[in-house]
Amino acid sequence: MARAPLVPHSTLGPFTLEQKLAVGGMAEIWAAQQVLHNGETRRVALKVMMGAHAPDTHFRDMFMDEVSIACRLEHPNIVRVYSGDEVEGHLLQVLERVDGIDVRRLLSALSREGVGFPVPFALMIARDMARGLAYAHQCRTPQGQPMNIVHRDVSPHNVMVTRAGHAQVLDFGIARAEDRLARTRTGVVKGKLAYMAPEQAQGFATDARTDIFSAGVVLWEMLAMRRLFRAESDTETLRMVVNADVPPIRGENPDVPDEAAAVLHTMLAAHPEDRLRSMYEVERSLNRAMGRNYAADQVRPAALAAWISPYLTAVTAKARRKTMVLPAEQPEHRTGVTLSAGPTSPSDPSAPTDPDPTTRVDIEPPVFE
């Protein structure tokens, strides 16, 4: 079927498009209203594959794999994916529409204002991320088999903070699961380089501890208000990731409690076996750190909701003026780098490696914007 152009107020099957929210290299995100089978309507976000990728079988399989994984994940700290289908020639996913702001845009706003991220709120967001990812890591099939999900793309772009003061993880588009159909092409590591764990950047096996490292990078950047892995060249950035060159967080922000700094240090250990063993441990450790260093009313969702409200108002006003373009998703803003893994080996010598002796990584701009 021929693809009709997508424009505001047009219809696409049971969906009425309202506004384009974002444009990436692979898909567009639209705010829409969906008419349900019972005649009721609900607000949704539509992730619609760009026309250039529609004929590519690999992209189509990857796009629908995301649906097959994410539709099984029902948790307050994960953005819901309701369904996926081809409608009037458009391959699309139907997502929960979140009233909130992603951490990348929040960091950008704070950076422009020259103010820091309140430490208890950064810890709350990281704790909520850990809750959602812990659930995903332990998710099982209806037959009770472990799905062995690893997100592999935890970054500020993929964490939403809601108006109610909760954080939600989104976009399991490159997640690894045991029953996934589409596989990463030989010699290509997918994800945002600056948020990868060392083993992922080198093409070694990934597991839940890979997401722990990436979540640690997000938390470090919220607390430090600067990028962690940033260098003059793409190759040097990659080397920083592989070496896990992480400055102590209290040297960047002395307001971070010692206990929270210790948790972050173990999350960002270079070798997976030196990290906390699970996201449940991350959640518990961050909860202990918050409970021992802050009053209860400082770490309640209501406090985070009150603080974030002005930023949500600003984002809504900006969205009305223009469509946001996501820099980390634009192909023209990403550079392919090939770097030999050299003598470095994974912590587990038996872990499978990419059959290609080099790893190609896509790199997004080293800025919050």
SS3 of the chain: helix, strand, coil, percent, to 5 = 40, 20, 40
**Cα(303)–Cα(278) distance, integer angstroms:** 28
∠ Cα 42 307 124 (to 5°): 85
Q: Do 293 and 257 contact (CB within 8 A), yes or no?
A: yes
**Cα(39)–Cα(59) distance, integer angstroms:** 33
Catalytic residue, candidates 102, 128, 153, 211: 153
HSE value, Cβ hemisphere, 13 Å, CA-based, for 144: 0
∠ Cα 309 315 318 (to 5°): 145
User: How many C-beta atoms lie closer than 10 Å to residue 248's C-beta?
Assistant: 11
Catalytic residue flag (residue 153)? yes
- Between the CA of residue 217 and those of 11, 115, 226, 227, 266, what are the distances in Å? 40, 20, 11, 9, 12
**Residue length, the chain?**
369
Reading the block at residue 102, the tokens are 């992603």
Of 86, 112, 117, 337, the closest CA to residue 224 belongs to 117
Q: Do 303 and 165 contact (CB within 8 A), yes or no?
A: yes
**Cα(64)–Cα(84) distance, integer angstroms:** 7
User: How many C-beta atoms lie closer than 10 Å to residue 297's C-beta?
Assistant: 8
**Cα(174)–Cα(128) distance, integer angstroms:** 21
Residues noted as catalytic: 153
